Amino acid sequence: MMAHRFLPLGITSLLLLALFTTGAWQFEGFGSLRVVLNLFTDNAFLLITALGMTLVILSGGIDLSVGAVIALSGVLCALLITKLGWHPLAAFALVLLVGTAFGAAMGCLIHHYRLQPFIVTLAGMFLARGLATTLSEESIAIEHPFYDSVSDFGLALPGGAWLSSSAMVLLVVLAAVLLLAHYSRFGGYIYALGGNSQSAALMGVPMARTTVGIYALSSFLAALAGIVFTFYTFSGYALTGIGTELDAIAAVVIGGTLLSGGAGYVLGTVLGVLLMGVIQTYITFDGTLNSWWTKIVIGILLFVFIALQKIMTVRQAHA
């Protein structure tokens, strides 16, 4: 039983190792520390989003609004900083508060009205994207000394490697989510809710508080990802993050978390995002493959992991 639980995680780890080793053997510099750290920098906003998605899927839910929340957060940041003259830190605080409240509202609807997370978060996706577009249809440039300072900040490492500020934020978030999911009472509630909601209620799990907290945290992390993304582009744009929710879900599933909830690991999601990043890096180094091959390979992997999840679920039911 324990071996079955870790099987998807093991497969993802082996695939990541095999592809990275192949790339390092084929291309000079592929296996360098610089490339490894660039994986974390380039995918920081996606991994932060996927960590929130992991908690939602572990609880048996789904959050389709995260990509739109990323866009709304970026547009709000740009408006507050550029148009209203706010300091970026004050803008960040308000954006994170708005994101958290947005997720909490969806969580309330899901729990108190017994609505399907798919429908509620789909409505949230349209609402957040619509609000972002209403605020500004054009990209809003962000010009502020704070952005220049943060973008230039980082930790120089041997071999020309650079641990960027975005990667540092990611590592802090990762540590916090790891502790929350695997070493806190709230994390236990998430797993219990995803395993069997009726049993969780009988066990005394605070269903309302847990559900609202999960979606609030997911939107908080999506808003944070939106802030991080503004440091990539130095702008806010309403069309940012289209499809990010699908990439996040793909990373969670490839990382071994069951779509039905109740089983999975935060580190699995990290491996899933890194695997997607290594695929893209391999294609970039190769230079002859179309970038759409990334989506093709991810699609194939999703089919494989969904089939594997189904086989494991059936075997556990008959065990």
| Burial class for 291, CB neighbours closer than 10 Å (0-12, 13-18, 19+) | exposed
pLDDT at residue 317 tops 80: no
Range from 45-54, 98-107, 190-199, 273-282 carrying the lowest mean pLDDT:
190-199
Q: Give the pLDDT score at 17.
A: 96
Please work out, in degrees rounded to the nearest 5, the angle formed at the alpha carbon of residue 185 by the alpha carbons of 61 and 97: 60
User: Per CATH, the architecture of 2-318 is what?
Assistant: Orthogonal Bundle (1.10)
Is residue 138 within 8 Å of 236, Cβ to Cβ? Answer: no
DSSP assignment letter at 239? T
Condensed to tens digits (0 to 9), the pLDDT of residues 50-99 reads 999 999 999 999 999 999 999 999 999 999 999 999 999 999 999 999 99
Give the start-to-end residue ranges of the domains of the chain. Answer: 2-318
Tokens of 37: 């750290």
> Which alpha helices (DSSP H) does the chain contain, by range?
2-26, 33-42, 44-58, 66-78, 88-112, 117-135, 145-152, 165-183, 185-195, 197-202, 207-233, 244-254, 266-286, 293-318
CA distances from 247 to 119, 225, 244 (A): 19, 14, 5
Of the chain, the end-to-end C-alpha distance in Å amounts to 9
Lowest mean per-residue pLDDT among 151-155, 194-198, 212-216: 194-198
Q: Please list the residues that pair with 164 across neighbouring strands.
A: 154
Stretch among 40-49, 201-210, 214-223 having the lowest mean pLDDT:
201-210
Q: How many CB atoms lie within 10 A of CB 160?
A: 10
Task: Give the lowest-confidence range in 31-40, 105-114, 122-131, 305-314.
Answer: 305-314
pTM for this entry:
0.95
